[in-house]
Amino acid sequence: MRLQTRFFVLSLGLSLIVLAVVALQTSRGVGHRIDAHAEADLHRLVEVARFAVLRAPVTDDAFADELAEAMNVRVSVIDTDGALLGDSWLDEEALSKAENHGRRPEVVAAFRDGMGTDKRSSSTVGQPFTYVARRVDRPGKKPIVVRCALPSNEVQLESDAVTRLVFVTALVAIGLAVALSASAASSIARVVRSLTVTANRMASGDLSVRSGLRGTDELSELGRALDKLATELSAAMEGLRAETDLLSGLLEGMQEGVLVTDRDGNLQLFNRAIREMLLIGSDAIGRPISQAVDKAELRPLFDDARKKGSSVAELDLPGIKPRRVLVHASKLLGTRGGEVAVFFDVTEVRRLESLRRDFVANVSHELRTPVTAVRSAAETLRGAVESDPTSALRFIDMIERNAARLQACIDDLLFLSRIEAKQYNFNQEPVEASTVAAPVIALFRERAAARNVRLMNEANAMHPRVWCDPRALEQILTNLIENAIKYCPDSTVSVRSRIVDGRTRLEVADTGPGISAKQLPRIFERFYRVDPGRSRDQGGTGLGLAIVKHLVEALGGQISVESELGRGTTFLIDLPPVPAVLPSAAASVRPADVDASPAS
Ligand code: ADP
């Protein structure tokens, strides 16, 4: 039942009960009171009648009629024998036939006690009366009784009239009360309905809605409490949202992959890095880890973390970009349960470690050969110095050659490590390639002639200049030209320039034996040689091209190589163009300790 109806029915029910009680009480109370009043009046009137009897010379029926008319009640006069001397309600004839009144209770009581009352239906006139009788003691005469009586139905009529009036008044009042309470119930129901709508909107997430109640009643207070709740809830939600944003921003921004499972081993959360590493989508959320991620090794890792608190493993992840990851899994703290795993991409670290191992092995190998040669030459020299002075000179020569090789190797290694450590400060400026190439070519002219190599400077002085350190470019060209002379006898070697995509590209090309496609990708690796024996014979350290690549990249450029067996090799160098606005202090101070050029 609706609140308004309930209120209405309640107030109507209450009103009807009140009405019933009022009617009952009124009809009873008023009847009694009127009865009591009537009796009291009869007592007063009978007293008056006593005085009238005392003074009256005769007390006959006329006297009774006269008295009754004056007092507006029935008046009877009864003598000691019970004879009715007069009665205002009876005429002469009826009076003569009236039965003896000496046994009437009020008459008996009046003669005995002076006063008597009774209520009963009169057998004489046939209707109910209230009687009050009074003994009148007359000096020198027998006492008589004067009796006043009121018909009870008159009293009842009076009582009914009053009851009716009260009832009608109460009915009108109740009608008004019911109408008022119905209107109050309707206004309360309206407020309750509006509060319900507000609360429902709040519950469905709209925390901007307010009840807008301003009164001082309880419902307004409830509305204000609801508004306050929404304000506080919205502030708390805002704080929560900010925290969630921070957390998700943090997780998404992390390079490390983070993956969280619940206590049942189902995927709960993971970040962008994990998406890329494990190639999983957001539909994986809620699925068991063994189904969501196609990596069997993860399962024991999580089981271990659950049992021991934490576990670590290194895994290989296949894919377009294969990776090696170090995974730390640990139990989540708190009552929530579950595990968190952090994936560190160690691909580069492991690659560098492997490079370092190879490098150490290569360096040891490179150095061991000349050192062994020097030691054995020195030992042999000790014996031969007196016995065979001619061969002693040969050993000294061998020692010198290997020492020079050691020196060249160490110089190249140091130079490379300085470029890598960015200790080589470049002095970049607009450089015209042919100007730099000319002195280098001139320097190699004699050696080239000795190996029947034709050296050409074909760099076009009209091509845009490049943004470069001239000394570094000199070093690059020196290494490349020297290699070409070493490995390409009876050929033509040229330094050229070309415009590619509006920028100047330098090329060092030869018409030598070329390098096989299989070996070409490794040509810039440290200590990589196409023909190790031949390279060593030529005094090569295996570091020349590595130095060239490092220098070009440190200058902000790129180097590549094209080669065809039997047709020759071309090294292509793309250096940055001269910037539109030249930096004011582009030239930085070159440290004195890197002043020495390496020997290639
Ligand atoms: P190296 O000190 O041995 O010359 P580099 O790094 O300069 O070391 O060269 C690596 C290898 O590349 C050389 O051993 C050689 O076999 C090969 N190479 C370099 N330049 C040429 C070229 N112009 N033609 C053919 N092979 C070359």
The 10s digit of each residue's pLDDT in 260-317 is: 999 888 999 999 999 888 888 888 899 988 888 888 888 889 889 989 999 999 999 8
Q: Which residues of 75-86 are buried (b: 16+ CB within 10 A; e: fewer)?
A: bbbbbeebebbb
Q: What is the mean pLDDT of residues 164-170?
A: 83
**C-alpha angle 212-213-219 in degrees, rounded to nearest 5:** 140
Count of other CB atoms within 10 angstroms of residue 100: 12
Q: How far is CA 309 from CA 266, 290, 350, 533, in A?
A: 18, 20, 27, 57
Please state, in angstroms and rounded to a whole number, the distance separating the CA atoms of residues 290 and 297: 9
Q: Which residue, by CA, sits nearest to atom 20 of ligand 1?
A: 483
- Do residues 54 and 69 lie in contact, with contact meaning Cβ atoms separated by under 8 Å? no
**Shortest-distance atom of ligand 1 to CA 600:** 2
Ligand 1 centroid to Cα of residue 595, in Å, is 25
**Shortest-distance atom of ligand 1 to CA 484:** 23
Q: How confident is the model at residue 561 (pLDDT cuts 50, 70, 90)?
A: very high
Q: What is the pLDDT of residue 594?
A: 39
Count CA atoms within 13 Å of residue 133 on its CB side.
Answer: 31
Of 540, 593, 508, give the one whose Cα is nearest residue 412. 540
Ligand 1 centroid to Cα of residue 498, in Å, is 24
Q: What is the mean pLDDT of residues 44-60?
A: 90
Which of 490, 530, 567 to mutate for ligand 1's pocket (most ligand atoms within 8 Å of CB)?
Answer: 530
Q: What is the pLDDT of residue 337?
A: 85
**Shortest-distance atom of ligand 1 to CA 528:** 10
Looking up tokens 């944003």, which residue turns up?
A: 245
Ligand 1 centroid to Cα of residue 483, in Å, is 6
Please state, in angstroms and rounded to a whole number, the distance separating the CA atoms of residues 14 and 10: 6
Q: What is the pLDDT of residue 584?
A: 65
In this predicted model, what pLDDT tens digit does every residue of 339-386 receive, in sequence order? 999 999 999 999 999 988 988 888 898 889 889 999 998 988 888 877
Q: What is the pLDDT of residue 1?
A: 65
pLDDT at 516 over 90: yes
Q: How confident is the model at residue 595 (pLDDT cuts 50, 70, 90)?
A: very low
**Least confident among 271-275, 433-437, 530-534, 547-551:** 530-534
Q: What is the pLDDT of residue 585?
A: 52
- Do residues 130 and 116 lie in contact, with contact meaning Cβ atoms separated by under 8 Å? no
pLDDT at 589 over 80: no
Q: What are 266-273's contacts with CB under 8 Å, separation 24+?
A: 267/292, 267/293, 268/338, 273/343, 273/345
* Residue 6: DSSP 8-state: H
Q: Write the burial class of residue 195 (CB in 10 Å: 0-12 exposed, 13-18 middle, 19+ buried).
A: middle
Sequence-ordered list of residues with C-beta below 8 angstroms from that of 6, at least 6 positions apart, any chain? none
**Sign of the dihedral defined by the CA atoms of residues 213, 217, 222, 227, in that order:** positive
Ligand 1 centroid to Cα of residue 561, in Å, is 12
Q: Which residue, by CA, sits nearest to atom 3 of ligand 1?
A: 542
Which of 536, 545, 573 to mutate for ligand 1's pocket (most ligand atoms within 8 Å of CB)?
Answer: 545
Mapping DSSP to helix (H, G, I), strand (E, B) and coil, where does residue 337 land? coil
Which of 451, 528, 529, 549 to mutate for ligand 1's pocket (most ligand atoms within 8 Å of CB)?
Answer: 529
Q: Which residue, by CA, sits nearest to atom 16 of ligand 1?
A: 530
- Do residues 434 and 507 lie in contact, with contact meaning Cβ atoms separated by under 8 Å? no
Please spell the DSSP secondary structure of 173-239, one letter per residue: HHHHHHHHHHHHHHHHHHHHHHHHHHHHHHHTT-TT------SSSHHHHHHHHHHHHHHHHHHHHHH
Q: What is the pLDDT of residue 343?
A: 95
Q: Write the burial class of residue 332 (CB in 10 Å: 0-12 exposed, 13-18 middle, 19+ buried).
A: middle
Which of 483, 511, 518 to mutate for ligand 1's pocket (most ligand atoms within 8 Å of CB)?
Answer: 483
Q: What is the pLDDT of residue 6?
A: 79
Please spell the DSSP secondary structure of 57-116, one letter per residue: S--SHHHHHHHHHHHTSEEEEE-TT--EEEETTS-HHHHHHPPP-TT-HHHHHHHHHSEE
Q: What is the mean pLDDT of residues 107-119?
A: 93
Query: Residues of the chain with pLDDT > 70: what percent?
Result: 97
Q: What are 159-165's contacts with CB under 8 Å, separation 24+?
A: 159/27, 159/30, 159/31, 159/34, 159/35, 160/27, 162/26, 162/30, 162/34, 163/23, 163/26, 163/27, 163/30, 163/31
Q: Which residue, by CA, sits nearest to atom 27 of ligand 1?
A: 487
Q: How far is CA 261 from CA 58, 339, 596, in A?
A: 125, 5, 59
**Shortest-distance atom of ligand 1 to CA 547:** 6
How far, in whole angstroms, is CA 4 from its chain's centroid? 40
**Sign of the dihedral defined by the CA atoms of residues 431, 600, 514, 458, in that order:** positive
Q: How far is CA 9 from CA 21, 82, 122, in A?
A: 18, 63, 50
Query: Residues of the chain with pLDDT > 90: what percent?
Result: 50
- Do residues 101 and 107 lie in contact, with contact meaning Cβ atoms separated by under 8 Å? yes
Ligand 1 centroid to Cα of residue 356, in Å, is 22
Per the document, the length of the chain is 600
**Shortest-distance atom of ligand 1 to CA 488:** 24
* Residue 533: DSSP 8-state: H
Ligand 1 centroid to Cα of residue 570, in Å, is 12
Which amino acid is it at 321?
Answer: K
pLDDT at 592 over 80: no
Q: What is the mean pLDDT of residues 525-531?
A: 89
In this predicted model, what pLDDT tens digit does every residue of 435-481 receive, in sequence order? 999 999 999 999 999 999 999 999 999 999 999 999 999 999 999 99
Ligand 1 centroid to Cα of residue 539, in Å, is 11
**Shortest-distance atom of ligand 1 to CA 536:** 3
In this predicted model, what pLDDT tens digit does every residue of 469-488 receive, in sequence order? 999 999 999 999 999 999 99
Ligand 1 centroid to Cα of residue 467, in Å, is 27
**Shortest-distance atom of ligand 1 to CA 532:** 14
Ligand 1 centroid to Cα of residue 107, in Å, is 163
* Residue 335: DSSP 8-state: S
Q: What is the mean pLDDT of residues 508-520?
A: 96
Q: How far is CA 133 from CA 104, 127, 136, 204, 583, in A?
A: 10, 18, 10, 87, 142
Which of 411, 479, 487 to mutate for ligand 1's pocket (most ligand atoms within 8 Å of CB)?
Answer: 487
Of 286, 291, 290, 311, give the one whose Cα is nearest residue 299. 290
Residues in the ligand 1 pocket, defined by CB under 6 Å: 483-484, 487-488, 510, 512, 515, 523, 528-531, 535, 540-546, 569
